[in-house]
Structure formats: structure tokens, C-alpha cells
Chains A and B, each alone.
Chain A
Amino acid sequence: SQQGEEDPQALSIQEGENATMNCSYKTSINNLQWYRQNSGRGLVHLILIRSNEREKHSGRLRVTLDTSKKSSSLLITASRAADTASYFCATDEYSGNTPLVFGKGTRLSVIA
């Protein structure tokens, strides 16, 4: 079963614009992570935010976490064509040593 659900499923923007993707999940979590996947290749870890954190930055990435709404957002600022990829959120449940559960992803297309 999939804990996280990304929204939208697909997003198309112009280079230079900002891209926002959202993730909702169902249970209490320890951490939430975002990963990027370029066309059927391996996933690359982008950022981890802990359940007691509300916002985190890494370069052009900004992640927020709202545990009361069980949701997170990933903002990519000043997007580039190289940002074209699928983006997944992954959570691990608070209840113990549980594996990461990934959503279905948001497919981002950045048009030059």
C-alpha cells in the first residue's frame, strides 16, 4: 500500500518558474524524504525533514512539513530543464522500524 500521495500527478512549467509539489500521508511519521528519479533510472535523495521540523532548505529546494495536516510540499525555485524528472515523497511510520513507503510521484517537465 502507498502511504504518500503526491499532487499533482504531472506538472509542466517554463524554465525559470517555480515548481511546487505536494505530498499527503496517512499515519504519524518519523521523517519525510523527497527523492528525484530521471526517466526510469535510480532515485536520488534530495532532502529529509524530521517530524519536529517545519521547514528545510537545500539550495533551490524548500520543503515544508505540516504534521497536523499530514502533508508536505517541495518547492523548486528558478527551475531548469535539468530539473525535469519524477519526484517522490517517502515516509516511515512513527510506530517503529518500518520501511520507507513511497507515493506514486509527480512528473515535472521544465520547458526551455
Chain B
Amino acid sequence: ETGVTQSPTHLIKTRGQQVTLRCSSQSGHNTVSWYQQALGQGPQFIFQYYREEENGRGNFPPRFSGLQFPNYSSELNVNALELDDSALYLCASSLREGLGETQYFGPGTRLLVL
């Protein structure tokens, strides 16, 4: 088990709503990344935050946004939810900035959009 925690564990929303997911990074890690994992697929990189700034972004629309706080915790916000946003959202922290660094994953938040 890593020291990365995520909340909530499960969430059900309806199409068009907004959602905020939360993550606390492992102690000593200052970099947080978010991934989306659809059923039967590998995780897909959404974005990374380092020192409260976005440090890289994957192929996701602007309605996916994030924040990192001074204590290195992070939020993922998704606006105007679509049915295809249903997935497991994984937060991962790393010891160093750099998008290819070893990732320490949290348990994930499973989001269902109806």
C-alpha cells in the first residue's frame, strides 16, 4: 500500500453535473498526477501538478481541470459530465517532477455518470 489517499471511493453523478475528486500525496512527494482508467483499459494520463503549477497535460478537454495545494494535496474537477467520463480516476504521486517518474498510486475513485 502506498501513502496516497483518495476521496470519495465511489461517486454517482448525472450527465451535465460537475464533480470534484480529492487526493493526498505520499509523504515527501511534491508531484501529483491524475489518470483516467476506463473498464478494460490501462490508465490514461490527464495532467500533472508540480509546485502548484500544471506540469503537463494529456489529451483531455478543458472541462477537466485541477489544483494542487501548498501541502501537495490535489483536486481533479470535471465539469459538464458526460456518460463516457464513467471510469476509475487514479491519483499518483512521485518523488520528483518529470512525467515519466515512478508513480505511487492511490486506490482510486470510481465515478459513474448516469
Interface residue ranges, A against B (CB under 8 Å):
2, 4, 30-31, 33, 35, 40-45, 48, 88, 90, 92, 97-105
Q: Flag if A101 contacts B90 (CB, 8 Å).
A: no
* A-B complex: 3 closest residue pairs judged by Cβ atoms: A92-B100, A102-B42, A42-B105
Closest approach, in angstroms, between the C-beta of A31 and any C-beta of chain B? 6
Stretch at the interface among B14-22, B43-51, B61-69, B70-78: B43-51
- Give the chain A neighbours of B2 by CB distance below 8 A: 42, 44
> Which of the four size classes fits the interface of chain B?
20 to 34
Interface residue ranges, B against A (CB under 8 Å):
2, 4, 33, 40-45, 48, 56, 58, 88, 90, 92, 98-100, 102-108, 110
A40 to B99 Cα, complex, angstroms: 23
Q: Flag if B103 contacts A43 (CB, 8 Å).
A: yes
A82 to B92 Cα, complex, angstroms: 23
- Give the chain A neighbours of B41 by CB distance below 8 A: 2, 104
- Give the chain B neighbours of A44 by CB distance below 8 A: 2, 105
Q: Flag if A99 contacts B56 (CB, 8 Å).
A: yes
A35 to B88 Cα, complex, angstroms: 16
Q: Flag if A45 contacts B104 (CB, 8 Å).
A: yes
Closest approach, in angstroms, between the C-beta of B10 and any C-beta of chain A? 11
A43 to B90 Cα, complex, angstroms: 9
